[in-house]
Each structure stands twice: as C-alpha cells, then as structure tokens.
Structure 1
Amino acid sequence: MEDGNRATIMITNDDGIDAPGLRALVQVLVSTNRYNVQVCAPDSEKSGFSHSITWLHPISAKKVDIDGATVFAVSGTPADCTSLGISKALFPTVADLVVSGINMGSNCGYHMLVAFLFADMRTVAGAREAFFNDIPSISVSLDWVKGKSSHNDFILAAQACIPIIDAVIVEIKKKSYVQGCFLNIDVPVNVANHKGYKLTRQGKSFHKRGFRQVTSETETQGRKMTSAMTMDVDTAAPIETDTSSISPKHLLFRREVSEAQHDNDDTDYKFLQEGYITVTPLAALSRAEVDCHAYFKDWLPSVSESASAL
C-alpha cells in the first residue's frame, strides 16, 4: 500500500456469505468510503471445520453482488477462504488487513482453544490464517444472547469496531504495526451502551464437555429418526449426528456440557461480561508475546481519543 492510496480490507467469516454479522461489517466499512472492501467467505455456514483446509479437491468461488464491495462465496472452509483471498489467485491485490466476523457468539478464554474442535474457533481461524501468512488481522465476535440480541446489534458492533480498524490501518501505513500477534475483539451484549475498549488477556474461562452413554431404549428411538439433533451450548448452529446406521452392537454416546468455569482475573471474559469491548492480542495457539501486550497498552487509549475527535 502506497501512501495516499486507499487501504484494502478483506472480510471473511465462518457463518457464511449471507450471515448478518458479515453483511453488517461490510455495510459499515463501505459506508465509511475509506477502504477498498474485498469479501471472501464460505458459501454456507461451516460448523466444526475449525482451521481445517481443503487439499484433495478444488474449491469453487462464485461472484456475489454486495454494493460497494468485491465479493466471492467459496465452497471451502474459513481457513480456505482467507488463504484464497490473500493469494492473488482471486483478487488482484493482497489486502492490507483481514477482518474475520462478526461472529454470532463470543470467543473468550480457553473456550477459544477448545472450540478448535467445535464451532466458534472458526471465526478466529479466519484471522489466524492471515496471521500465518504475515497479514495483519482481526477477529470480531458479538456476545449474542438468544431472545435479547437482534440483527441491528451487528451494525452497532461493526460501528464500534471501526475506530480500532481505522487505527490499525494508520499503523500499517506507517509500517509501525506490531508483528507477532493478531487481535481478537469481543463486543458485549449491550453494545449500544458499551463501556469502551479494554485491553485484556486470554483468560481461563472454559465449558467442560463430557459424554453420556445413551440407553438402549434411546438408541432404538434414535435409529427410527433420520437424524438426532444436538446443540452446542455456545453456538447458534446445531450439530447433526446421523444415527440411522447404528447397530445394537454399537455403544452410543452423546456429548454434553457438564460444567462452566470462569476465572475472575482481569481477563477477556470478565471484562466482556462487565460491558467492555475486549481487545485481546493472540498468537498461534497461545497468549500473545509480552511485547505485543505492552504495545497495545499504550496504543489502545489513543483509539478512543481519535474516535472522540471525529
């Protein structure tokens, strides 16, 4: 990116090209009239793919019309979408920043890592794939509560994140943006009345998951059904378990959440529940390096000052 040129931001996600979180983020970014907006996202919701990639067969990309942006829906995983989008095989230029989201559901604590095998980690995986390729990236999630949150909250969440995105682009243009981490942002339920930005560390909040053996009676009932539906407590999408081919000789187990554990330290989950927009530097599979956290400690307050001056 040369000085004076508009920066390019690529949007991806895990919930699919039609997800309200992605559409809201694109709409708000386009409305700023400051960026070239690219979108490379799954053509449908991709549950449980985590950071998996497609290797053995080609993936397809279809042009989609979204005003103000160049958009493709891709048949691959979230990691595939990011990798394809920054490869120059799909877009003529590589984005200056990749933003993954906005996810319907928070990504905090150890749950972020455990979800590598489940669903929420897919949003973080989109940003992590860019990080693996030395492209600055951000993952954004909204602490969605069924019956309380609405699709308009995605618009508010996107607007609340614009000052951070703007500030990151400024640092990228100056070539002073920190290396060695990417940002994970969680927006609280009451986004309209959030308390501001809070630099946090990845905590230890965690939903313990176990297994319960299904009784023979339940197993018999399950075989009569086309599929059994189970719901991960932290995701909006159901996980289908096909039981039609299970014989009586097999043992059948169902995954369940046994216990929720949350730490009370100054961490992402704690401050998110208090109403802050949490900003957490992350590395590959662990907390970000100490110097990354020190960098953002001085940098984040300036974002609020810049936003209030607009």
Structure 2
Amino acid sequence: MENSVGACTRPTIMVTNDDGIDAPGLQALVRVLVSTGRYEVQVCAPDSEKSAVSHSITWRAPVSVQEVNLNGATAFAVSGTPADCTSLGLSGSLFPSAPDLVISGINMGSNCGYHIVYSGTVAGAREAFFNGVPALSLSYDWVGGTSNVDDYTVAAEACLPIVDAVLAEIKNKTYPQKCFLNVDLPTNIANHKGYKLTKQGKCIAKMGWRQVTSAAQGGKMLSTMTMEANSLTSSEVDASSMPKEHRLFKREVRGGILDEDDTDYRSLQQGYITVTPLGALSNVDVECQAYFKDWLPGVAKCFSSSTL
C-alpha cells in the first residue's frame, strides 16, 4: 500500500490508544479530526483498557477484531495491546490504504520521564515508528477533581497545528525518519503557554505495595503518572475466601522525583504543551560506556571459572 499524502486525496490518520476504544480521550480526538474534514480517519484500538502494558504484544494467541461505528471514522476494536493495534492497522488487513500518520491517544494522564517506558500510549506510536510510519503519542495531564471530559476536546484542538505541520513535512518529504513525537498537554489546557520542545527527563512516581483484603481496595491506576483513590475495580475478590497462603497486594504512589528544567515533566507542570522527540534505542550515558569499556577486558581474566 502507498501513503496518500503525496496525492490529491486527503491525508489518512490512524488513531489508537491504550485506554480502550470507548475512552473519552480517543473519542474526542477522533471527533475533532473528523469534524475538520481535512483527513481520512482510521481507528484501530484496544477493545478494553490496556494502560501501562508498555510495548507488549500478543504472540501465540489470535486477537479478535470487531468493526464499530465511531464518529464518522472507519474503526475496529481489537482484543490486543496498543502495539498489536498499530501493527494490525498498518498490515493492510483492515484498511484499504496505509495511514500517513499514526496518533496514539489522547491518554488519561501524562506520560513523561521514565513513565514513557511503561506507557501503552507511547508504545502505540513507537510501533508505527518501527514500521517506518510517522507517529505522535498524545497524553493529557488529567487531575481528578479538576479535569473534565470536555478538556479532551480542547486538548485535541490544541494539537491540530502540530498534526497539520507534521503532515506538511511528510508531504514535502522533509519529516525526520529517526524519531517520533511524544506530546503532553497540561491540566489547564484552555490556558496553556504554547508549545515547548523538551527532552525526556528522569521523573518517576515512586511506587509501593499495600496489602488489601479485596481487589476493590486501593484504587485503579488511570495512567502511568496518576492514581485515582476513589476509582474502584469492577471485580472484587474477598481475601477471606482465599487460601491462607494467598495474599493480595496493590500498588500505590508514595511520591515522585522531579526533574531538572527543560525536561518534559517540569515544563508540563509549568503549563506548556511539551513536544519530545523519542527514538527506539535506550542509549546509556557516556560515562557508563567508558566505565564498562575499561571493565570488560578484565572480566574473563579475573573471574573465569578456572579461578573460582
């Protein structure tokens, strides 16, 4: 299949996410994209929530696919992960043409710093990058009690200039091939301070474990950055009915590490829409590379089995 952006037809955008095809973030994004009339919109997204699954894929079992009616887009709900959805959507098995751009999101909760590693939203875009297709991952910094579902529409509209600019670069064949973009939108999106180019920082929410008596205790993780204490799981397991050797534990956030200025998380908290180029490789710091360059030659000499 050939991409359509170089032709006279409208460019094609494929949307996926990790919150599930019914999530308000994806629904708002698709609605805004379709309403412009400027794009052909495809959707290939998980049929249920797949938050924090990172870049996992379904390997041995088949995935099920069901076509759904979604805001004027051609849409499919898939039983797999975000990476599965992107891969299947790009395979030519579901859609008549390949997308010019893949957008993953809009996620409920930010994806900055080390949390990018956990993010299924980012993985949806990364999978497109693996396949040579330009991609964006979009996340909204949802805060319980402050944010509301209408913010997703504002967030989607705020991203349209980025989408159009990327598509223009693709059409001109000047878009970089060695990265994809991770975009985070601040909580007060209606009064954001504009776009800011950032780098991935090192912020991470410190997690702990708490023993609970049922699966409904402790809350549900809404994103890799957010815990909503009042959001309960739908299925409850009573620990009293379990064998004594079985105990239940749930994760909980116990604080976080803030990063230096000009990184994604710090800039997001300052009210900017952060735009962070990402690649697929995890390159180590220069000093670590230098350390192990000197260290490795002596390993066999000093710690071989013959000397133990």
Q: TM-score, normalised by structure 2?
A: 0.82
User: CA offsets per residue over residues 86-116 of structure 1, 9 Å max, x none?
Assistant: 1001111111100000001001111222xx2
Structure 2: runs of 5+ lacking an equivalent: 284-308
2:252 to 256, 276, 288: 256
Q: Counterpart of 2:54 in structure 1: which amino acid?
A: S
Q: How does 1:66-215 map to 2 (within 5 A)?
A: 66-113=70-117, 116=118, 121-212=119-210, 214=211
Amino acid at match of 1:161: C
In the alignment, does 2:60 pair up with 1:56? yes
Distance 1:131 1:40 in 2: 16
Counterpart among 261, 264, 271 of residue 265 in structure 1: 261
SS of the residue 1:59 aligns to: coil
- Unmatched runs of 5 consecutive residues or more in structure 1: 288-310
Question: Displacement of 1:207 after TM fit?
Answer: 1.1
How far did 1:65 drift? 1.2
The answer to whether residue 27 in structure 2 is matched with residue 23 in structure 1 is: yes
Kindly provide the amino acid, as one letter, of the partner of residue 145 in structure 1: V
Partner Cα distance (1:122, 1:162) in 2: 22
Structure number with bigger Rg? 2
Amino acid in the other structure paired with 2:269: Q
**3-state DSSP of counterpart to 1:65:** strand
Q: 1:26 offset after TM fit, Å?
A: 0.7
Distance 1:238-1:281 versus aligned 2 partners, 3 A rule? farther
Q: Distance in 2 between matches of 1:265 and 1:226?
A: 39
Q: Say whether the 8 Å CA contact 2:227–2:252 is kept in structure 1.
A: no
SS in structure 1 opposite 2:124? helix
How many residues get paired? Answer: 272
Q: Deviations over 1:32-80 (max 9, x none)?
A: 1111100011112124432211122221211111233111111111111
CA RMSD of aligned residues (A): 2.2
